[in-house]
Amino acid sequence: MQAAFTIRRFRLGDYPAVVRLWRRAKGVEVAEGDDRTGILAYLKRNPGLSQVAIHERRIVGAVLCGHDGRRGLIYHLAVSPKHQGAGIGSRLVENCVAGLKAKGIRRVLILVAKDNPEGRAFWQARGFEKIPGAEVLGRDT
């Protein structure tokens, strides 16, 4: 029998526990913009879309979700190794997709590290696909 869990909105008070979870998660890089101020700004710009999963009053899963008005973006999905396989990651993803759809967003994007085949398999099993000919580029401001 799988452990019971609940999902709720990511609140700023969750930040310390969520960062600890992200730092332990394979394939999640805590980087610039992931400080408390940056996450607060993100949560305010995208109210209700980012979520946490709770089991026995502890955060065991988390995801950042938002959009730019045209495309949805999912970042930093992580589930505690002890709770993987219980459907938490899938529920978080489906809640993100449903929340974005309710806001009129029709396409959702994610970033998966090239050296994270498990992560890529997770996302592909949920209908995400490679974008042929696309390559991620970035620049610090």
pLDDT of 3 > 70? The answer is no
What residue has token string 């999905």? 77
Q: Name the residue among 3, 10, 1, 2 with its Cα closest to residue 92.
A: 10
- Mean pLDDT for all residues in the chain: 93
Q: Are 66 and 49 in contact (CB under 8 A)?
A: yes
Collapsed DSSP state (helix, strand, coil) of residue 81:
helix
Q: How confident is the model at residue 90 (pLDDT cuts 50, 70, 90)?
A: very high
pLDDT value for 73: 96
pLDDT value for 16: 97
Q: How confident is the model at residue 1 (pLDDT cuts 50, 70, 90)?
A: very low
Greater model confidence, 115 or 3? 115
Q: Name the residue among 58, 19, 54, 62 with its Cα closest to residue 38.
A: 19
Pairing between β-strand 72-79 and β-strand 108-110 as defined by DSSP bridges:
parallel
* Averaged pLDDT, 103-126: 92
The angle at the Cα of 75, spanning 109 to 56, to the nearest 5 degrees, equals: 130
pLDDT value for 138: 83
pLDDT of 12 > 90? The answer is yes
pLDDT of 133 > 80? The answer is yes
Q: How far apart are CA 42 and CA 23, in angstroms?
A: 19
- Residue 4: left if φ>0, alpha if ψ -120 to 50, beta else—which one? beta
pLDDT value for 48: 95
- Which domains does the chain carry? 6-125 (3.40.630.30)
Q: How confident is the model at residue 98 (pLDDT cuts 50, 70, 90)?
A: very high
Amino acid, res. 5: F
